[in-house]
């Protein structure tokens, strides 16, 4: 994937507030997530591409879609105001119905597949997963178990913010993905 390097980002990943990391001992193959918390998000303007693809295809199409979003906003003189994200609109075991994009300070003009969008204002359960993207499924399972045990009911959508990833270094153990699951009141 050709995501912007840390030096090219208008924001800094170290400036993103992270909750205290869980300090319990885990098995070697278990994901590492921070202690989940409840947070209120504000609505954020975004530039996105909507994808509906088979689960097996997401890794092949996501990188080019992100590159297209970044190229489009750069051509319009708009800088991202945060990390790349994926907003999963519906959860289906076989198909991804997802918007991939970046938050922006001003609306993007529709160009090709890139459209203006918005991450919604919501009360969310939030955590940060540390590790390679292949471990996200297990991390989500652990996170969803926490949400259920805490007595919350999850909304049908969710989003991931890729705080640090391959562009920040080759060691997947240093990658951080923020997991957000809106909650029903």
- β-bridge partners, 165: none
Confidence grade of residue 30 (pLDDT, cut at 50, 70, 90): low
Distances (CA, A) of 135 to 83, 94, 183: 19, 18, 23
3-state secondary structure 84-138: CEEEEEEECCCEEEEEEEEEECCCCCCECCEEEEEECCEEEEEEEEECCHHHHHH
Q: Which helix (H) or strand (E) holds 139?
A: helix 136-149
What's the whole-model pTM score?
0.82
Q: Rounded mean pLDDT of 124-138? A: 94
Q: Given a cut of 90, is residue 32 above it in pLDDT?
A: no
Cβ(54)–Cβ(48) below 8 Å: no
Q: What is the pLDDT at residue 185?
A: 72
């Amino acid at each position: 994937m050709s995501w912007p390097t840390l030096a090219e980002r208008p924001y800094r990943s170290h400036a993103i507030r992270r909750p205290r990391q869980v300090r319990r001992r885990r098995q070697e193959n278990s994901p590492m997530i921070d202690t989940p918390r409840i947070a209120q998000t504000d609505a954020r303007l975004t530039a996105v591409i909507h994808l509906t693809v088979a689960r097996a295809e997401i890794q092949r199409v996501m990188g080019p879609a992100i590159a297209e979003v970044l190229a489009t906003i750069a051509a319009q003189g708009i800088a991202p105001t945060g990390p790349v994200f994926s907003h999963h609109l519906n959860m289906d075991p076989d198909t991804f119905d997802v918007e991939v994009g970046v938050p922006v300070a001003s609306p993007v003009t529709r160009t090709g597949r890139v459209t203006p969008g918005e991450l919604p204002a919501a009360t969310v359960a939030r955590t940060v997963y540390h590790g390679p993207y292949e471990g996200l499924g297990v991390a989500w399972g652990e996170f969803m178990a926490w949400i259920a045990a805490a007595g919350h009911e999850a909304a049908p959508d969710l989003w991931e913010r890729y705080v640090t990833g391959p562009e920040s270094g080759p060691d997947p153990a240093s990658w951080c993905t923020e997991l957000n699951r809106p909650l029903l009141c």
